[in-house]
A and B are shown apart, each in its own frame.
Chain A
């Protein structure tokens, strides 16, 4: 899959951009604050309708303007034209110039995986970050998963509200417990199937990136083993004191083990970076396997953070992604760009919200 064309109007610091991109490995070079990350953000937005920086619509509109527009041509099995317009008063999403009515009809038109500094939280952050990692993968590959997850989260919220009511209405609690169990079980089952598929991908990426050949194991640790209903029953007394739902997949963990030890506490900074990259590579490869085409890789400011040997390990993995007529977009500064890839690179210069091809 590749992005053949990108048009931006009043998006971040781009007043106007019209660019065509071939499949292959694109490097976006430029000093700080020129618009490199903004460009990746626009591509990711076309893929997911969300900013990977967590920015809301207003922040994306170029200062002083009314609304932004992103036009993207996605080439996969078919060629699709994406149009996104966003202003305070109006939001328009079109696919081949037709208004999109349901998100499910849209998602998947363009697929992208982003690598950025915040990925380090996958290793350093709380279990919540790793649950979200599993949930995003499952939502993108398993029909129905997102719906179960949303139901489950709503059931937890409702059940917690019931537990806070005084006096406690047991029958009411039971009603929402039924719903919690019904939605919770398929979530645990889906995560249980996912992790063993993901683990070898992460392990092999980790071995390529780290010259020392360290082993990375992923271990899904559902907070509830066995029956969810029985686990809730066992927590009856505690739940009534704490007035909250104390067990369930909203508390699951995805353990990362480096050389058999918990990575969050035992890994060095450099190793943590390796693991985060390995997880993102695993994500990209899992999506490739599930959909038959590689997602577009968006790599933001990652090179500068890596030592020579890790760079040497990572670059071949990224290069591989472009072989199936895939695409990689990588932002770099003059110091950090991967010269070792030489002529295979398609280079662009980003300066003050404008993009210029650099001849090879």
Chain B
């Protein structure tokens, strides 16, 4: 039960913000209320930032990471090792692994993982691009750095099969949560549901 309804433009703003990842309806509403009460010039510059960022950033044509120039700085850097490709799910993973500073090869962003239950199949991932790079010749090892849940692991099995025969090594590093140990409270609750789902018929 909320308060009496907000003016329509605020409702619309809250709804738009609520579609952003990590923002629930309540925080979206709070943010919307904050914005419409902020200094107009501040809001205008925020809007400009959004547009600028969106207009100048594009996926790198080689690796799929986010970049302002084509190809991205990591792909263009002559100091990196062309024989190694680290395969990740998202552009954010590239940043994380690059920041850690231990990997000196190239990256490849899949744009997700195989998820049959949400309709994500091989054709939805940047797999042809990966095969093209591997066939290019220089690559000797592909390192898979995907989440260790069922879909991440199945994606790895799938990739290992698909890249077999290319004459390269395919290896795997654990990335994200270790299997079965990092489940968050809320997740475990909903998941525990899977074993103890009873309907109201007792007592």
Q: Which of B147-203 contact A (CB under 8 A)?
A: 149-151, 153-158, 161-162, 179-181, 183-185, 188-189, 191-192, 194-203
Residue A174 at the B interface, CB < 8 A? yes
Residues of B within 8 A of A176 (CB): 116, 150, 154
Give Cα distance in the complex from A183 to B157, angstroms: 14
Which segment, of A52-60, A199-207, A349-357, faces chain B? A52-60
Residues on A lying within 8 angstroms of B by beta carbon are: 37, 41, 48-50, 52-55, 59, 88-89, 93, 100-104, 116-118, 132, 135-136, 139, 144, 146-151, 153-155, 157-159, 161-162, 165, 169, 171-172, 174-176, 178-179, 182-183, 300-301
Contact partner, B203, options A117, A150, A165, Cβ 8 Å = A117
Instruction: Name B83-129 residues within 8 Å CB distance of A.
Output: 114-117, 121-122
With A and B bound together, what is the CA distance between A226 and B198 in angstroms?
32
Decide: B203 and A102 in contact? CB cutoff 8 A: no
**Can you report 10 A-B residue pairs in the complex whose CB atoms are below 8 A from each other?**
A53-B203, A102-B184, A117-B203, A136-B195, A146-B188, A146-B192, A148-B180, A154-B149, A169-B122, A175-B161
Docked pose: A41 CA to B180 CA in angstroms: 29
Q: Contacts A53-B202, A147-B183, A171-B162 given: A165-B195 contact, CB under 8 Å?
A: no
Do residues B114 and A118 form an inter-chain contact, with CB atoms below 8 A? Answer: no
**Bound-complex Cα distance A55 to B201 (A):** 10
- Report whether B150 and A151 are in contact in the complex, using a CB–CB cutoff of 8 Å: yes
The answer on a CB contact under 8 Å between B157 and A175 is yes
Q: Is the interface of B mostly helix, strand, loop or mixed?
A: helix
Q: In whole angstroms, what is the CA distance A147 to B180 when docked?
A: 5
Instruction: Please state if A174 and B115 are interface contacts (CB–CB under 8 Å).
Output: no
- Which listed residue (A37, A151, A172) contacts B149, Cβ 8 A? A151
Q: Which residues of B contact A172 (CB under 8 A)?
A: 114, 116, 121-122, 158
User: Contact between B157 and A165 (Cβ–Cβ < 8 Å)?
Assistant: no
Q: How many chain B residues touch A (Cβ–Cβ < 8 Å)?
A: 39
On chain A, the residues within 8 Å of B115 by CB distance are 158
CA of A161 to CA of B119, assembled, Å:
8
Query: In this complex, what residue of A is CB-closest to B154?
Result: A175
Q: Are the C-beta atoms of B195 and A118 separated by less than 8 Å?
A: no
Q: CA–CA, A154 to B115, complex, Å?
A: 11
Q: How far is the CA of A55 from the CA of B203 in the complex (A)?
A: 12
**Residue ID in chain B nearest A135 by CB atoms:** B195
The residue that B202 contacts in the complex, of A100, A116, A136, A150, with Cβ under 8 A, is: A116
The answer to whether B157 and A179 touch across the interface, beta carbons within 8 angstroms, is: yes
Given contacts A161-B117, A174-B161, contact A139 B195 (CB under 8 A): yes
4 more A-B contacts (CB under 8 A) besides A118-B201, A118-B202, A136-B195? Answer: A48-B196, A54-B202, A146-B180, A178-B153
State whether A116 and B122 are in contact (beta carbons under 8 Å apart), knowing that A158-B116, A174-B157 are contacts in the complex.
Answer: no
Are B203's CB and A300's CB within 8 A? yes
Q: Which residues of A contact B188 (CB under 8 A)?
A: 102-104, 146
Chain A residue at smallest Cβ distance from B160: A175
CB of A132 within 8 A of CB of B150, answer no
B150 touches A154 (CB 8 A): yes
Cα A161 to Cα B121 with chains together (Å): 10
Q: A174-B157, A178-B154 are contacts. A150–B200 as well, Cβ < 8 Å?
A: no
Do A52 and B116 touch (CB < 8 A)? Answer: no
A56 to chain B, nearest CB (A): 9
Nearest-neighbor residue (CB-CB) of A155 within chain B:
B150
Q: Are A116 and B203 in contact (CB under 8 A)?
A: yes
* A160 vs chain B, min Cβ distance (A): 8
- B46-62 toward A: CB 8 Å interface, digit per residue (1/0)? 00000000000000000
Chain A residues closer than 8 Å to B181, beta-carbon distance: 147
Bound CA span A221–B115, Å: 32
Cα distance A94–B22 when bound, in Å? 24
* A148 nearest CB neighbor, chain B only: B180
CB distance from A38 to the nearest CB of B (A): 9
Residues of B close to A175: CB separation below 8 A: 114, 154-158, 161
Contact present for B158 and A54 (CB under 8 Å):
no
B151 contact set on A, CB distance < 8 A: 154, 158
- Min CB distance B162 to A, Å, is 6
Is the pair A165, B121 in contact by a Cβ cutoff of 8 Å?
yes
Distance (whole angstroms) from the CB of B114 to the closest CB of chain A: 7
Which residue from chain B places its CB closest to the CB of A159 in the assembled complex? B116
Tell me which residues across on chain A come within 8 A of B114, comparing CB atoms: 172, 175
B154 CB, min distance to chain A CBs, angstroms: 4
User: Is B200's CB under 8 angstroms from A151's CB?
Assistant: no
B92 to chain A, nearest CB (A): 23
Do B203 and A178 touch across chains, with their CB atoms under 8 A apart?
Answer: no
The reply to whether A179 and B198 contact each other, CB–CB distance below 8 Å, is no
* A155 neighbours in B (Cβ, 8 Å): 150, 154
- Chain B residues in 8 Å Cβ range of A135: 195
CB distance from B156 to the nearest CB of A (A): 8
- Complex CA distance for A83 and B180, rounded to whole angstroms: 26
Least CB distance from B158 to A in Å reads 4
